[in-house]
Amino acid sequence: MNKLCIFYFAAVGAICLAQPAYAASAEALNAGFVSGIWYSRNPFFVGDQIRIYSAIHNQSQFDLVGKVKFFDGASQIGESDFSIISGRVLEQWADWKVTPGDHSLYVKIVDAKKSVVGKPLESVTLKFDSSGTDQQFADIDTDGDRIGDREDADDDNDGVPDAVEVKQGTDPLKKDTDGDGIPDGQDTYPLKVGAGSVESALPIETATEAKVLRESKESPVEQNAGVTAVKNTGLKVIGTIDSFADSLKKKVEIKEIALRDKIKETVTPTGEKGDESLSQAEIFDSAIEKIVSGQKAGQHIYLAALSAVAFALGNKFIFYPVLLITSFLVIRYLVRFLRPMK
């Protein structure tokens, strides 16, 4: 009887002692993706070979291993193994050849395990095991000018706007509709093979009249072509700047996350939301409060600066005015600096 009682209490005690360990392993670890995904080139077009990036942070107390899988909807694009030690941020990527149409791009962490020296790997749950879905449309870029056909007013870049080509019967996706070697924008008869520059075979008077007539007919087209060229150039410049700003914003956010987790005990307002739930505005305000109070001023100044930069890069109403003002100041400085050298 005594042995039975001892065994009973020992079993109950073992179960009770095991409960905290079980709860700890079941609790989601503070690790996972930092902030969405980004691309080696954006915008991208059908046929482009691009690289999709994401970043994993590990703010748990353990080293982690697992797999990262990249998806387009239900189709897997690629995967890679990862191993990340505690307190670090790790960049992951997959290469992808762009296909036409709408895409739902996202990344997931699977088979995440806790790695402890001398112990077997243990499966764990991560708080941020999915990047969230990024919706993208991949357009065709017929003329290769980095402006998709849906936005490009002159898809084949022959100097004749698509709307005009449709009206006159030429192919807006073919630079030389009749295949005579003369682009539609320079061809007097773009629908008739071999009738490109007919003036050269005519008497001088007739040739002059034909040339004047051709130029008078084409002048509206040429004007439209000029407007189209300016518009396309502007769209390309804006697209390049947006892509640069987005890539830079992601890198700043990675640094911000790492620093925020490093000093989270001072940045997170007592009794309020955890650091992973704070918005950039809350991070910035909290950092300013710590600067004023003199707590770890250097780190908090840096954190406030990172938050401000990330916010500005993500807001075009702030980013572009700052870019214009900065460009103006740089140009004015260079002009003043170089003027005495003349």
Q: Give 7-33 pLDDT, tens digit per residue.
A: 344 444 443 444 433 333 456 788 888
Q: Do the domain assignments include residue 203? A: yes
- In this prediction, residue 44 carries a pLDDT of 96
Q: Are 72 and 78 in contact (CB under 8 A)?
A: no
Tell me what the mean pLDDT of segment 269-295 comes to: 54
Of 46 and 185, the one with more pLDDT:
46
Q: Do the domain assignments include residue 15? A: no
Say if residue 268 is in the same domain as residue 310.
yes
Say if residue 102 is in the same domain as residue 194.
no
The residue among 212, 231, 250 that closes a domain is 231
What the block records as the tokens of 93 is: 């990527």
Q: Do the domain assignments include residue 247? A: no
Cis peptide before 43 (omega within 30 of 0): yes
Number of domains in the chain: 3
Predicted TM-score (pTM) of the model is 0.56
Say if residue 134 is in the same domain as residue 34.
yes
Sequence-ordered strand ranges (E) for the chain:
29-33, 38-39, 49-58, 63-72, 75-84, 88-97, 101-115, 122-123, 126-128, 134-138
In 3-state terms, the chain is what percent helix, strand and coil (to 5)?
45, 20, 30
What the block records as the tokens of 26 is: 């079941």
Identify the band that residue 158 occupies on the pLDDT scale cut at 50, 70 and 90.
confident
What the block records as the tokens of 117 is: 């020296």
Tell me what the mean pLDDT of segment 255-273 comes to: 56
Q: Do the domain assignments include residue 245? A: no
Identify the band that residue 200 occupies on the pLDDT scale cut at 50, 70 and 90.
very low
Q: Do the domain assignments include residue 13? A: no
Residue 308 lies in domain: 263-341
Say if residue 34 is in the same domain as residue 67.
yes
Share of the chain above pLDDT 70, in %: 60
126-128/29-33 β-pairing:
parallel
R_g of the chain computed on alpha carbons: 31
Judge whether residue 223 has pLDDT over 50: yes
- In this prediction, residue 136 carries a pLDDT of 96
Say if residue 32 is in the same domain as residue 134.
yes
Q: Do the domain assignments include residue 222? A: yes
Say if residue 125 is in the same domain as residue 172.
no
Say if residue 117 is in the same domain as residue 42.
yes
Say if residue 314 is in the same domain as residue 279.
yes
Identify the band that residue 6 occupies on the pLDDT scale cut at 50, 70 and 90.
very low
